A and B are shown apart, each in its own frame.
Chain A
Amino acid sequence: MQSQKIEEHFIAEKPFYLPQKNELAVALAAYGNGLPLLLKGPTGSGKTRFMQFLAWTIKRPLITVSCHDDLSTSDLVGRYLIRGGETFWLDGPMTLAVRHGAICYLDEVVEARKDTTVVIHPLADDRRQLAIEKRGELLTAPKEFMLAVSYNPGYQSVLKDMKQSTRQRFVALELNYPPPELESEIIRHEAGVKEPLAHSLVRIAAMTRGLKDSGLQEGASTRLLVHAGLLIREGIAPREACHGTITEALTDDRELVGAIDEMISSVI
């Protein structure tokens, strides 16, 4: 169960984050006006990292909820528990965030059960309210509170697409894969590898990102490149490291696995 201690959610050290464009300014402007944030972008493109950076910048705690298809309203709001014959209430992460004026970040929000919109909607529009039905309580979020959700347009499906009434409540920020120079710098910093290698990894990623027509749903993310860099720094042979962190992570199709390994061995 979600920890009740809000202090744990403060971010003590400045996270390393390289802005892609004006995302920080936009997010701060949204925050200042009590508007919720929608982060769009492929996996591993820095959405979570950005939220950490934002939370650190505005000095608010960050409470992250990874949404899944079982996630219900009470997982967000809270529930009664029985312990030793006694019943007591436990705040869910969203309630916790509202009470303490924290950032509530719902990761992959389209995965959550449809009934969660009942609590998301009033919190995301100008009411900024959270109703805790089971307790007959109605909370109004303080101005420090921020709701943020993320969503990967690459996985769009008819079932899992976000409803217009939901998405139109948010200020949208698109975080795509960073441009090559920036991505290379991120890898150098995160994995502690040198320029030529970082540059090669970025090139490999760009190659895999062009393979949609060949049946690869999504290309290698910045995260995978960081992983590859970390293994290589540990002394794993570069091609092997890339095979494990990039190729096999991307696909099970043997031909595609072969093709991606060939790209890697051409570049490295």
Chain B
Amino acid sequence: MARVTTALSLQQIIPDNQLNEWEHEELIEQLAAYDAQLERAVLEQIAVIWPVSHALCFAFLGQLHNGLHCLEPKELAAWVKGILHVYEADGLRAARLYMSDVENNFLCRLRGESGLAFAGAQGRLVPYIRGLSGRSLQLEPSASVATDTSTIFLPRDVSFYRDHTGNFQVYKLLATYQWGFISQDLYCQNQLRSASIHIPGDGQQGTEGDRDDILARFFNTFANQQLAQDIYHLLQTLRVSVFLQQEYPGLMRDLKPFFALLLKKRPDIHQLIGVSYLLEKIRQWLLGQLSGDKVSELGVHPHLRTIVDAAWSGQAGNGDIFMVTRSFYDAYCRDDTAYEQLPPLLFQGEFRPREAHRARLVRRESNRQKFIEALAAILPPQATAEKAAESENEPQPLAANVVENGANITPAGHDTMNKAEPDQQPAEEPRFICLDDEHLVLPEELRELAREIEEDLGSLPSFYISSAS
């Protein structure tokens, strides 16, 4: 009887025609030997693995017996997650190896003995980063550190130290650095601020380019874009490091020994030549600064010094980093054939402009919907789309988004470009919506949304307002 139910449940996951008869028999036999709870747990995992790889699934079933010597049924899911991760990263062989040693590859990590798993850190890390940033950022485990500006990707586990505390501090540093990149606008998503950025060497300067993608325009001016990105990202890392030292001095002080540790793990600089050498020189110089030992000197390149100083000054903005990226490239990358890409600094992580752009578009759409819904909820019911809508700032009116009959308007950022105001300050948060000559005070949440939308688009499009009424 039990076998019949087992067979039925299995069929839901793996259709009979995908298994040989003997495979089917063996599998039922294996499952039937488990108690009901374990059987359910195993079936659930088969359902996860089978669609990924049939071979992996058979390998899993083969190792399951051993695994269950030391695993509780409730730990199965986490173990399978680990298996899939290894499989995706390094293939079937690696996954087999991983499965063969449950104790060392999985359990002791779970206990935090040889490392701290992301799952063990996130409970504290998520509220930490949300509190710190004031945004509902997501954290996700990933093969490498990065951010798309909505999500921060962190390693699956961290095992620099033997103890939990040290490894947690590393997680904390990585998350805070990525927040630093977001906050300092690594991907130039704040249109209010980037409107005035001058792109060195950009032919379309002054014409209507894609305002959304100032970074793409910038990198398009380089022959070797990958190299330009690496330079830009590293120089931004200097800028963000200064920011973090100012804003989170406690963190940067606590982690000094860790920066020293990272410095020891960098490649031998004497093996490098050309631009690879110079970039690595900057990385090691930065680690030296951050560790407080300052063991690494920049050497005798006066021009390199100037570039690093500009990024490290504490005053630099994205525009300055554009400039110094350009001058670094022009000075040292004429002959880039010798360029060998080295791993970025751990906390720096990967540079992912495309993902960041996608995340921005997703956010833009969700902000638009949220804004229209929230505004509609507070508008008096008689307000109609025909009425003039305008967003206004107090005490100064915001670059006006006046619109008649709900027609679309050009974001204010377009005009401000040509005004003689290179240091355009971010506009103040709009506090009022002016509808039919009546001022409507925006609630806190809407003001915040409006500010975010303005940062992204340069101004609050008036059709957002007319769509709500």
**In the docked arrangement, what's the CA distance between A213 and B133, Å?**
13
Q: Which residues of B contact A256 (CB under 8 A)?
A: 127
| B248 x A267 contact (CB < 8 A) | yes
Interface residues as binary, B355-387 with A (CB distance below 8 Å gives 1, 0 otherwise):
000000000000000000000000000000000
Closest-CB distance, A24 to chain B (whole angstroms): 22
Contact of A262 among B124, B134, B136 (CB under 8 A): B124
Contact across chains for A266 and B132 when beta carbons are under 8 A apart: yes
- A123: CB under 8 A from chain B? no
Which residue of chain A lies nearest to B123 when distances are taken between CB atoms in the complex? A255
Interface assignment of A236: CB less than 8 Å from any CB of chain B? no
Tell yes or no: A208 within 8 A of B by CB: yes
List CB contacts (< 8 Å) of B129-179 with chain A: 130-132, 134, 136, 172, 176
CA distance A157 to B126 in the complex (A): 28
Whether a CB of chain A sits under 8 angstroms from the CB of B128 is yes
B342 in the interface (beta carbon within 8 A): no
Asked if residues A266 and B176 are in contact (CB atoms below 8 Å), the reply is yes
Query: Would you call B282 an interface residue if the criterion is a C-beta within 8 Å of the partner chain's C-beta atoms?
Result: no
Contacts A255-B123, A268-B250: A263 and B128 contacting too (C-beta < 8 A)?
Answer: yes
Asked if A18 is an interface residue, CB under 8 A from chain B, the answer is no
What are the interface flags for B24-56 relative to A under an 8 Å C-beta threshold, 1 for contact and 0 otherwise?
000000000000000000000000000000000
Tell yes or no: B254 within 8 A of A by CB: yes
Q: Is the CB of A260 within 8 A of B250?
A: no
User: Binding site of B, secondary structure by majority: helix, strand, loop or mixed?
Assistant: helix
Q: Does A258 contact B (CB under 8 A)?
A: yes
A208 touches B131 (CB 8 A): yes
Q: Once the chains are docked, how many angstroms separate the CA of A265 from the CA of B253?
A: 10
- Check A266–B251 contact: CB distance below 8 A: yes
- Tell yes or no: B231 within 8 A of A by CB: no
Q: Which residues from chain A contact B248 at a C-beta distance below 8 Å?
A: 266-267
Interface assignment of A214: CB less than 8 Å from any CB of chain B:
yes
Would you call B124 and A211 a contact (CB within 8 A)?
Answer: no
Given contacts A259-B125, A262-B124, contact A213 B131 (CB under 8 A): no
CB nearest to A204 among chain B residues: B131
A262, B172: Cβ atoms closer than 8 Å? yes
Q: Which residue of the partner chain, among B126, B176, B247, B249, contacts A214 with CB atoms under 8 Å? A: B126
Asked whether A206 is an interface residue with its Cβ less than 8 Å from the other chain, the reply is yes
Q: Given A206-B134, A263-B132, A266-B176, does the pair A255, B250 have CB atoms closer than 8 Å?
A: no
Q: Which residues of A contact B249 (CB under 8 A)?
A: 267-268
In the bound complex, residues from chain A placing their C-beta under 8 Å from that of B250 are: 239, 264-268
CB of A207 within 8 A of CB of B134, answer yes
A265 and B254 form a contact (CB under 8 A): yes
Q: Check if A259 sits within 8 Å of B124, measured CB to CB.
A: yes
| Separation of A213 and B129 alpha carbons in the complex (Å) | 12
> What's the Cα separation between A15 and B212 when bound, in Å?
53
A210 within 8 Å of B by Cβ? Answer: yes
- Contact indicator A262/B128 (Cβ below 8 Å): yes
In whole angstroms, how far apart are the Cα atoms of A267 and B249 in the complex? 6
Chain B positions 233-274 with a Cβ under 8 Å from a chain A Cβ: 247-251, 254
Point out the residues of chain B lying under 8 angstroms from A266, CB to CB.
132, 172, 176, 248, 250-251
Closest 6 CB pairs of A and B: A259-B127, A258-B124, A214-B127, A266-B251, A207-B131, A255-B123
Sample of 13 more A-B contacts, CB < 8 Å, known A255-B127, A266-B248, A266-B251: A210-B134, A213-B136, A239-B250, A258-B128, A259-B127, A260-B131, A262-B124, A262-B128, A263-B132, A264-B250, A265-B250, A266-B250, A267-B247
Query: Can you spell out 30 A-B residue pairs with CB atoms less than 8 angstroms apart?
Result: A207-B132, A208-B131, A210-B131, A210-B134, A211-B127, A213-B130, A213-B136, A214-B126, A214-B127, A214-B130, A214-B131, A215-B127, A216-B127, A255-B123, A255-B127, A258-B123, A259-B124, A259-B126, A259-B127, A259-B128, A259-B131, A262-B124, A262-B128, A262-B172, A263-B128, A264-B250, A266-B132, A266-B176, A266-B250, A266-B251
